[in-house]
Amino acid sequence: MAGRFELYFDGEKRYRFRLTGDDGATLVTSEPYSDKPTAVAGINGIRDCASTALISDLTDGDEYE
């Protein structure tokens, strides 16, 4: 899955980004950023850590397995 990061303005003219899947579905939406370089740094932070991030299962039990 390649996905795509989309950088955009929200309704209050602040920068945000979203990660969309190959099917166009939004997977992640960022917090608001006041400037573009900080928003781009947020994208790069996600890129850097997502592929090596661990999964923490915080569910209580295995009722859905």
Break the chain into its structural domains and give their ranges.
4-51
- The residues, any chain, with a CB within 8 Å of residue 34's CB and separated by 6 or more, are 14, 15
E runs forming strands in the chain = 4-9, 15-20, 26-29
Q: Cβ atoms within 10 A of the Cβ of 43, count? A: 15
CATH class of 4-51: alpha beta
What's the whole-number mean pLDDT along residues 25-30? Answer: 96
CA–CA distance, 20 with 25 (Å, rounded to integer): 5
Dump pLDDT digits (tens) for 40-54: 999 999 999 988 999
| pLDDT value, residue 50 | 86
Q: Which two tokens stand for residue 51?
A: 């592929």
